Amino acid sequence: MAATMTNIDRVTRTVPMKVLALGMSRTATMSMKAALDILGLRSYHFIEFVSNPLHGDHWNAWLRAKYYSNLNLPPTSLPTRADFDKVLGNFSAVTDMPAVLLADELIVAYPETKVVLVERDVDVALQRTGNTVSPTCRRKID
């Protein structure tokens, strides 16, 4: 993991990408991560994003290109496979945020990869999101 932190611009794919588990947060993404890890597939989850601050620069630029290209900000471009590999090159799977926000781009970048979508009752997912994610966002705004 240290190589990911200090040499992020030199990371290349070291293991094949095998699984894109593209469920929203609070839809058993941590359980999916645990299952993938048990199967020997090191998986990138939101906890990896939080643990590696340098990843934020990449994800923020990619998200800005996709969702906020009309703002008066320096231009960025959507990620390519080579771009994703700089951040995800040491991982065989992804799940949770921020990857789910770039699901289309990940599927295009890794067309040979299996896509898994965990479904959850909408009311349960909204309640769990309201109990965890929403209060965190409100604290940041206040």
Per residue in 77-128, pLDDT (tens digit) is 889 999 999 999 999 999 988 999 999 999 999 999 999 987 777 777 667 6
What pLDDT band is residue 7 in, cutting at 50, 70 and 90? low
DSSP 3-state helix, strand, coil percentages of the chain (rounded to 5)? 55, 10, 35
In this prediction, residue 108 carries a pLDDT of 97
- Averaged pLDDT for residues 55-62: 88
In this prediction, residue 28 carries a pLDDT of 77
In this prediction, residue 133 carries a pLDDT of 52
- Averaged pLDDT for residues 37-65: 89
- Which domains does the chain possess? 2-141 (3.40.50.300)
Among 54, 46, 33, 39, residue whose Cα is nearest residue 99: 46
**3-class state of residue 39 by DSSP:** coil
Q: Residue 89: count other Cβ atoms within 10 Å of its Cβ.
A: 18
Beta strand extents in 10-141 (DSSP E only): 19-21, 43-44, 93-95, 114-116
Tokens 């909408």 belong to: 122
Report whether 102 contacts 79 (CB < 8 A).
yes
What pLDDT band is residue 1 in, cutting at 50, 70 and 90? very low
Beta strand extents in 1-125 (DSSP E only): 19-21, 43-44, 93-95, 114-116
Mean pLDDT of the chain: 81
State pLDDT tens for residues 60-86: 889 888 888 777 766 678 899 999 999
In this prediction, residue 73 carries a pLDDT of 67
